[in-house]
Chains A and B, each alone.
Chain A
Amino acid sequence: MIIIEQSFYNNHMRILPLCIPASLTFLPLIGQVRAGFPSPATEYEESPLNIHQWLVRHEAATFLLRYGGATLEAEHICTGDVLVVDRSLTPAVGDMIVAVLHGEMRVFTWRGKTNRHEGEGWLVWGVITGIARKRHHP
């Protein structure tokens, strides 16, 4: 399970990053030199870190939901957290999952097939693989 916390240290100046997700538009300019020495780093150029890529393994099967229930301290899930839910995975015992019960989507802990809701039309919707949280909302 993954928790991200983001803080804004500086109250006077907020920096709004203006680049679109790296995979879409970020084209690193390599080796454009007008004068002087070429940068020694050009040959070692790597893409900048991308939190979405880190959190989401199966792009097509992953959905972001907001947790609106009461804080679950033991599970480190707080009200307002963004849950990263992967629908391609099969849950293992102890996994946090989103399941459909009586037509409603809810967060549960997977206890295997012997779940108490067995037989009530319970359906696994996806496995929670990450939690994202902003520390201070700007």
Chain B
Amino acid sequence: MFALVDCNNFYASCERVFRPDLEGRPIVVLSNNDGCVIARSKEAKQLGIPMGAPFYQYRDQLYKQRIAVFSSNYALYGDMSKRVMHLLAGFVPDQEIYSIDECFLQLAGYPAPEALVRQMQQQVKRQTGIPVSIGIGSTKTLAKLANHIAKQFPDTQGIFSFSHCPSLGIHSYLSRLPVGEVWGIGFRMQRKLEALGIHTALDLKLADPEAMRRKFSIVIERIVRELNGEMCIELEDVADPKKQIMSTRSFSQSLSDLPGLQAAISYHVRHATKKLRQQHSLAHGLVVMIRTNRFRAEAGAYYVSSTQHFDLPTDDPIQITQYAMRTLAAAYRPEFAYHKAGVILFCLQPKISRQPDLFTDQNPKKEALFQTVDQINQRFGCDTLKTAFEAGKTHWKMRQHLRSPRYTTSWEELYEVA
């Protein structure tokens, strides 16, 4: 028996924790650089603001409809997420954190799962202010679907369990869900299934698993079995370390000079390497990408992504920066106005399995240096210590005019109460 706990409109709910005046009012949250809408409160959805709406096109409508607009505040969302996950793990220790706002819980062996999750929902709301919906099912795929139902139908009060539902009832729910709502069925697979006459979750449940494997893959077969209550997908304890790490962003204004691009690339290397080091991996190589603005082709279009393999896998930020600068210098052409830059670290391997090399010195002092840098940046803010390529050049950084204070992670930005 599994539960899937999902925070309702998570980013908007986080903004409300310290803004009780926004209770019941429409909220949208914008992407990095205030480009487009990436999260909406229930009220904003009802007002017809679509997901991905470009901010500059919807600015007037948002203002007229008195919708509260926020730049994304990932420091706040990350902290609130940790709190919610921590509380849930206190109820049920077998937890798989699936994303910033969802987790699976293993409920096998608990005598009254419905009462338990009702308690979780109340406590999370009370202790963190975040509302959650919870779905229960005998497999992860069913738990995920149950969660979808809990969200869609208000009379469930945010909790729905397949185990208490007679099978005819299950069928009537599943027949109303498009097959694309099933966990693991993407847009393209949905098209393929529809071509076979499989339109709803119920159609897929009633499909022959063997035939689905022959037609598609073992992945689809598993989904069919899971829909029928046969467990095929286990709880994962630890999230798989990422196979590649990307850091990329568009500039607030376009730029042509090499030092400006060097600052941007150096910033992205630093952030990607930080993530690399956090998951205790080494990278075998990197990709440097720079591009002009796709929407302003008249200024000339140029896109290059250049790959560089390292001599030895590494997580050394200085060494990776050197590789990146060499790659950038080779790819750079001064006649263009660049709009976006980024890096990808690829072919990651766990640090623990590093092959020692006779001819390169693995200086332990260096490792201590980088750990100290990581610690200083964790304590005093992630941009305290950086490579000199970044010095003094900030004009390409994020546009975040509407960010709320980092209430829970910055002493300077604590909520002030009277």
The residues of A with any CB-CB pair to B shorter than 8 Å are 18-20, 24-25, 58-61, 63-69, 82-83, 87-88, 98, 100, 103-107, 123, 125
Given contacts A105-B417, A107-B417, contact A87 B127 (CB under 8 A): yes
The answer to the question of B378 belonging to the interface, with a C-beta cut-off of 8 Å to chain A, is: yes
Chain B interface residue count, Cβ-Cβ cutoff 8 angstroms: 26
Chosen A-B contacts, 5 in total, with CB atoms closer than 8 Å, are A61-B83, A65-B417, A66-B415, A66-B416, A87-B127
A65 to B18 alpha-carbon distance, docked (Å): 10
What residues of B have a CB within 8 angstroms of the CB of A24 in the complex? 378
A18 to B378 alpha-carbon distance, docked (Å): 11
Q: Are A82 and B414 touching (Cβ within 8 A)?
A: yes
Given contacts A61-B128, A88-B127, contact A106 B407 (CB under 8 A): no
Q: Which one, A58, A59, A65, A100, contacts B415 given CB within 8 A?
A: A65
The answer to the question of B379 belonging to the interface, with a C-beta cut-off of 8 Å to chain A, is: yes
Q: Which one, B83, B126, B129, B417, contacts A69 given CB within 8 A?
A: B417
Nearest A-chain residue to B90, judged by Cβ: A60
What's the nearest-Cβ distance from chain B to residue A45, in Å? 21
Nearest B-chain residue to A24, judged by Cβ: B378
Q: Which one, B82, B126, B408, contacts A63 given CB within 8 A?
A: B408
What's the nearest-Cβ distance from chain B to residue A128, in Å? 10
Q: Are B415 and A87 touching (Cβ within 8 A)?
A: no
A83 to B127 alpha-carbon distance, docked (Å): 16
Interface contacts beyond A69-B417, A98-B417: sample of 17 additional A-B pairs, CB < 8 Å, sorted by A: A20-B378, A25-B375, A60-B82, A60-B84, A60-B127, A60-B128, A61-B87, A63-B407, A65-B415, A66-B415, A66-B417, A68-B416, A83-B417, A87-B126, A105-B20, A106-B417, A107-B417
Q: Are B20 and A67 touching (Cβ within 8 A)?
A: no
What residues of A have a CB within 8 angstroms of the CB of B129 in the complex? 87
Given contacts A60-B87, A61-B127, A88-B127, contact A103 B416 (CB under 8 A): no
The answer to the question of B192 belonging to the interface, with a C-beta cut-off of 8 Å to chain A, is: no
A98 to B17 alpha-carbon distance, docked (Å): 13
Q: Are A103 and B20 touching (Cβ within 8 A)?
A: yes
Q: Are A103 and B23 touching (Cβ within 8 A)?
A: yes
What's the nearest-Cβ distance from chain B to residue A25, in Å? 6
Q: Are A103 and B414 touching (Cβ within 8 A)?
A: no
Q: Are B417 and A67 touching (Cβ within 8 A)?
A: yes
Residues B379-418 near A (CB distance < 8 A)? 379, 407-408, 414-418
Q: Are A103 and B21 touching (Cβ within 8 A)?
A: yes
A20 to B376 alpha-carbon distance, docked (Å): 8
Residues B94-152 near A (CB distance < 8 A)? 123, 126-129
A19 to B123 alpha-carbon distance, docked (Å): 34
A105 to B408 alpha-carbon distance, docked (Å): 16
Which of A18, A63, A125 has the most chain B CB within a 10 Å cutoff?
A63
The 10 A-B residue pairs whose C-beta atoms are closest, nearest first, are: A103-B21, A61-B127, A69-B418, A68-B416, A60-B83, A66-B414, A100-B20, A60-B86, A88-B127, A65-B415
What's the nearest-Cβ distance from chain B to residue A108, in Å? 10
What residues of A have a CB within 8 angstroms of the CB of B20 in the complex? 100, 103-105, 123, 125
What's the nearest-Cβ distance from chain B to residue A17, in Å? 10
Q: Are A107 and B414 touching (Cβ within 8 A)?
A: no
What's the nearest-Cβ distance from chain B to residue A59, in Å? 7
A59 to B418 alpha-carbon distance, docked (Å): 24
What's the nearest-Cβ distance from chain B to residue A86, in Å? 9
Q: Are A88 and B416 touching (Cβ within 8 A)?
A: no
What residues of A have a CB within 8 angstroms of the CB of B21 in the complex? 103-104
What's the nearest-Cβ distance from chain A to residue B269, in Å? 23
What's the nearest-Cβ distance from chain B to residue A56, in Å? 12
What residues of B have a CB within 8 angstroms of the CB of A107 in the complex? 417-418
Q: Are B126 and A65 touching (Cβ within 8 A)?
A: no
A25 to B376 alpha-carbon distance, docked (Å): 12
What's the nearest-Cβ distance from chain B to residue A48, in Å? 16
Q: Are B126 and A64 touching (Cβ within 8 A)?
A: no
